[in-house]
Structure 1
C-alpha cells in the first residue's frame, strides 16, 4: 500500500487552498479595473450597453470578493495549525506586510466596496465611479503586498537570519523586490485570460439560449480583447523569467504539468484566433457565428481557472523543500500531525471548496440566464 508522509499531505492541503484562492483573486484583480473602464465608457458615450455589462459583472466581482475572504480565513487556520513555527521565524517580514494588507482589505470593504456595491443609485455618479476606482486600486495594492512576500520567500534579500528569526535591515529591497515586476505581469496576464474567457464563454452560452442584447454582444468583444491582452502579456514572464518564477521545464515529475500548460495555451489561442476571424474578419456578432464556435467558447469559460491553478502549482513547488529559499525548510516549521487527521481535514476542505465552486458557477449562470434587474435610479444618482 502506498504510504504518503504527513508533510506531503500538509503541503498539498496548503497548496489546494492557495490555488483555490488564486483562482478567485484572478477574477477580482482584472474585473475591478474592467468595471472602472465600463463606468468611464458609459459616462463618455452615454450608451446603456456599457452600464448593462457593468451590472452583470459587478455581481461576479462581489461574489469573488466574498469567496476570497472566506478562503483567506481557512488559509490562516492552516498556517496556524500546520506551520505554526513559520509565523515566528518570518514575523519580521510577513507581519508588517500582512497587517498592511488586512488594513487595506478592511478599509476597502467598509468604505469603497460599500459605496460600489450597496450605494449604487443612492449617491452621485462621480462618487460612485471614485468608489469603483478605489476598490480596484485597493485590490491591486493587496495583491502587490502578497507578491512582495512571495518574491522575498523565493529570493530573500534585505534581511538577516538569526538563530530564532529573520530580521529586516532594508525594507526597500523587500517592497521593491527585483522579481515583483515579473510576478505582476504574470498575475495580470493570468487574471486577464481568466476574466476574458469567462466573458466570452458566458456570452457564447447565452447566444445558444436566445438572441443577445447589445450589452451581451459587447461583453463578448470586451472579453476577447482582454483574453488577447492576457495571452500576449503572459508570453513575456513565461519566456524571460521562467527559471525565476517556475520549476524547471526539464525537472522530472513536472514536465507533464508543463506540457499541460502548453496544451491549454494552445487550445485557448485557437479559440481566440477563430473568434477574431469571425468577429473582425467576417464582421459577425457572436450570436451569428457557427454553432461550433459558440459551443467551443462556452466550453472554455473556466479554462483560465485551470491555467491559473497550474501556474500557481509550478510557482509553489519552485522553492521546495524550502519555504524561504535556502534559509527555512518546510520540515523545520511543520507541526507533526497524524496522517488520518490530515486526510480527513483535506477531504473536508476539498468538499467545502467544491461546494463553493458549484454555488459560484450556479449563481454565475443564474444571472446570465435571467439577466440583472437595473438599480432603481434616484434624483441626481448613478444608474
Structure 2
C-alpha cells in the first residue's frame, strides 16, 4: 500500500478520535450507572449499592480524565491536519463544538468536584444531584458531538455560499436525518462498553474471592443493561441502515459490496470484495435478501457503478462492518446466556461457574472494541469526504511530509499505549485491593 501523506493523516486522526470516543463512552455510561447506584442506596439503604458506587466512581474519574485529555490531540489535529476544514464548515461545527466544550466545562467546574470530593462535605441529596448533573452534562456533550458528526454524514439546513457553509435553519442542522440514530448508537454503544467492563471486572473479582454485595449489585445492573442495550442496538443499526441507503447510497453499496446495479443482490455475510475485477469472492451469503439497506431508483438497486468520482475503500468498509456485526452478535449471545444462567438465582454472580466467569473476563473490553469499530465504520465509510459528497479531505488537507506524519503517529501511538496501560494497571489494582471506604463527618448514608 502506498502510504501517502493524506492516508497517514487519516490514520492519525482516526486513531486519536477513537481514543477519545472510547473513554468518552465509558465515562458517559458509567456516570448514569453511578446515578442508579446512588438512587438505589437512597431507596433501599443496602450497603451493597454503596460499595458498588465507591468502587466504580474511581474508574469513572479515570475514564473522564482520559477523555478530557484525549480532546486536546483531536482539536489540535483538526487545525494541524485539516487546516481548511473549519474555514468551510466553521459556521456549523464551531457553535456545536463550542456547546459540547461548554457542557463539559460547566459540569467539571460546578458539579464534578462535588461528585468526586464533596461526599463528606455535603448532604446526600446534594451529592446525588451532583451525580445527576454530571451524567446529564456528559449526555449533552455527547449529543452536541453526535450532531456535528451526523451533520457531516447527512448535511441539512445549510447552503454553500462562496465556498463556505451558511446556516439557514439550526433545527435542521442539529436534527438532521441521521442525528437520532447516530445518538442512539453512541449511547447504546457506551452502555455496552461499560456493562461488559463491569461484568468482566466483577467476574475477575469473583475468581479471586467470593463475590461481595457490591460486586453482586454492580453485576446485576450491568447484566440488565447489557441485555437491553444489545437488543436495542440491533434496532438502531437497522434504522441507521435505512438512513444510509436513502441519503448515502454510495456508502450503502460500499458496505454491502454491491458493484453492479440491477436486481436485488444476495446478502454477503462472509466474503471479500475485489476492486480490480469488481466482483466478490463469496464465502457465505443469503440469496435475494441484500437489498434491505441499499439505495434504489425506478430501475433497481444502486450499485457502485452508478457513482462517479471517489468512493470509500470497499474492502476495508465491507470488513469493518462485518467484524462489528459479528462482535455485536457475540456480545448479545453472551449477555442473554448469562442472564439465563443466573435468572433463577436473581442474577447472582455466584451462580456462574468458573468457565463462564473466565468468558466474561475475556469479554471485558468487547464493548469498548465495538465502540471503536462502530466509529471506524462510520468515518471510513464517509471517505474520501469530510462532509458527505461535498468537501473532499484532500481539499482541506494541510500539506505535511510522510516522515513527519510517521513520527507523529509513532508519538501518539506510544502515548496512547502508555495511557491505556496505566488505565489497565489502576483497574487491576482496584480489583486486587479494592477502595478505601469514605467516612462522612456527619450522619447519613454515604
TM-fit CA distance, 1:331: 0.8
Q: More deviation in 111-120 or 95-104?
A: 95-104
Question: Which structure would you say has the larger RCO, counting Cα contacts within 8 Å and 6 or more residues apart?
Answer: 1
2:158 match: 159
Partner of 2:226: 227
Alpha-carbon distance between aligned partners in 1 of 2:444 and 2:173, rounded to the nearest angstrom: 43
Q: Answer yes or no: is 1:372 the counterpart of 2:441.
A: no
Q: CA deviation at 1:262?
A: 2.6
2:256 corresponds to 1:250 = yes
Give yes or no for the alignment of 1:298 onto 2:361: yes
Partner Cα distance (2:346, 2:117) in 1: 38
More strand by share: 2
* Match in the other structure for 1:211: 210
Confirm or deny: 8 A CA contact 1:6 1:339 kept in the other structure. Answer: yes
**Structure 1, 221-230 or 163-172: larger mean CA deviation:** 163-172
Partner Cα distance (2:345, 2:32) in 1: 30
Spell out the pairing of 1:1-383 with structure 2 (5 A cutoff). Answer: 2-242=1-241, 244=243, 247-248=251-252, 249-251=255-257, 252-253=314-315, 254-281=317-344, 285-380=348-443, 383=446
Deviations 1:176-210 (A, max 9, x none): 22322111211121111111101110011111111
Higher helix proportion = 1
| Residue ranges of structure 1 left out of the alignment (5+ in a row) | none
Q: TM-score, normalised by structure 2?
A: 0.83
- Equivalent residue of 2:84, what SS? helix
Residue 152 of structure 1: CA displacement? 1.2
Residue 323 (structure 1) shift: 0.4
Q: Do the aligned partners of 2:5 and 2:402 also contact (CA within 8 Å) in 1?
A: yes
For structure 2, the residue ranges without an aligned partner over 5 or more in a row are 258-313
How many pairs are equivalent?
A: 382
* Contact 1:158–1:173, Cα closer than 8 Å, also in 2: yes
Structure 2 contact 103–141 (Cα < 8 Å) conserved:
yes
Aligned residue number for residue 260 of structure 2: none
Indicate the RMSD between aligned Cα atoms, in angstroms.
1.6
In 2, distance between residues paired with 1:120 and 1:180?
37
Structure 1 stretches of 4+ with a deviation exceeding 4 A read none
CA shift for structure 1 position 326: 2.1
Q: Distance in 2 between matches of 1:141 and 1:118?
A: 23
Task: Please report how far the alpha carbon of residue 286 of structure 1 lies from its aligned counterpart in structure 2 after TM superposition.
Answer: 2.3
1 CA distance for matches of 2:323 and 2:175? 32
1:284 to partner: Cα distance: 6.8
Distance change (3 Å), C-alpha of 1:158 and 1:294: same
Normalised TM-score (structure 1):
0.96
Larger Rg: 2
